[in-house]
Amino acid sequence: MFIIDAHLDLSMNALEWNRDLRQPVTLINEREKELSDKPDRGKATVSLPELRKGNIGLVVATQIARYVAPGNTLPGWHSPEQAWAQTQGQLAWYKAMEDAGEMVQIKDAQTLESHIAHWNDGNVNDIKPIGYILSLEGADSIVTLNHLERAWQYGLRAVGPAHYGPGRYAQGTNATGKLSSAGRELLKEMERMNFILDATHLCDDSFWEAMDLFKGHVWASHNNVRTLVNHNRQFSDEQIKELVNRGAVIGGVLDAWMMVPNWERGQSDPPSMNCKLEVMIDHADHICQLAGNALHVAIGSDLDGAFGREQCPYDLETIADLQKFPSLFLKRGYSSMDVDNIMHGNWLRFLRNAWKA
Ligand SMILES: [Zn+2]
CA 231 to centroid of ligand 1, rounded, Å: 14
- CA-wise closest residue to 355 among 194, 154, 155, 133: 194
- pLDDT value, residue 284: 98
- Distance from the alpha carbon of residue 201 to the mean position of ligand 1, in angstroms: 7
Q: How many beta carbons lie within 10 A of that of residue 356, not counting itself?
A: 7
268 sits in the region (left: phi over 0; alpha: psi -120 to 50; else beta) called beta
pLDDT tens readout for residues 138-174: 999 999 999 999 999 999 999 999 999 999 999 999 9
Expressed in angstroms and rounded, the spacing between residue 250 Cα and the centre of ligand 1 is: 13
Q: How far, in Å, is the centroid of ligand 1 from the Cα of 306?
A: 10
222 C-alpha to ligand 1 centroid (Å): 7
| 115 phi and psi angles, rounded to 5 deg | -70, -45
Distance in Å, CA 253 to ligand 1 centroid: 9
Ligand 1 centroid – CA 39 distance (Å): 17
CA of 233 to the centre of ligand 1 (A): 9
Residue 124 pLDDT: 81
- What does residue 271 show for φ and ψ, rounded to 5 degrees? -65, -45
Measured CA angle at 151 (ends 244, 4), to 5 deg: 45
Q: How far is the CA of 355 from the centre of ligand 1 (A)?
A: 24
Burial environment of residue 349 by CB neighbours within 10 A (0 to 12, 13 to 18, 19 or more): middle
CA 166 / ligand 1 centre spacing (Å): 14
| pLDDT at position 357 | 81
Distance in Å, CA 171 to ligand 1 centroid: 14
CA pair distance 282, 278, nearest whole angstrom: 7
Q: How far is residue 213's CA from residue 81's CA, in Å, rounded to a whole number?
A: 27
Q: Do 301 and 7 touch, CB atoms closer than 8 A?
A: yes
Ligand 1 centre to CA of 68 (Å) is 17
pLDDT in single tens digits along all 357 residues of the chain? 999 999 999 999 999 999 999 999 999 999 999 999 999 999 999 999 999 999 999 999 999 999 999 999 999 999 999 999 999 999 999 999 999 999 999 999 999 999 999 999 999 888 999 999 999 999 999 999 999 999 999 999 999 999 999 999 999 999 999 999 999 999 999 999 999 999 999 999 999 999 999 999 999 999 999 999 999 999 999 999 999 999 999 999 999 999 999 999 999 999 999 999 999 999 999 999 999 999 999 999 999 999 999 999 999 999 999 999 999 999 999 999 999 999 999 999 999 999 998
For ligand 1, the distance from its centroid to the CA atom of residue 124, given in whole angstroms, is 33
Q: How far is the CA of 182 from the centre of ligand 1 (A)?
A: 22
CA of 321 to the centre of ligand 1 (A): 21
CA end-to-end distance (rounded Å), the chain: 28
What is the distance in A from the centroid of ligand 1 to the CA of 137?
Answer: 7
- Inter-helix orientation angle 181-193/145-153, to 10°: 30
Rounded to the nearest angstrom, the distance between the alpha carbon of 255 and the centre of ligand 1 is 10
Q: What is the pLDDT of residue 125?
A: 83
Distance 164 CA to ligand 1 centre (A): 8
Ligand 1 centroid distance, CA of 64 (Å): 9
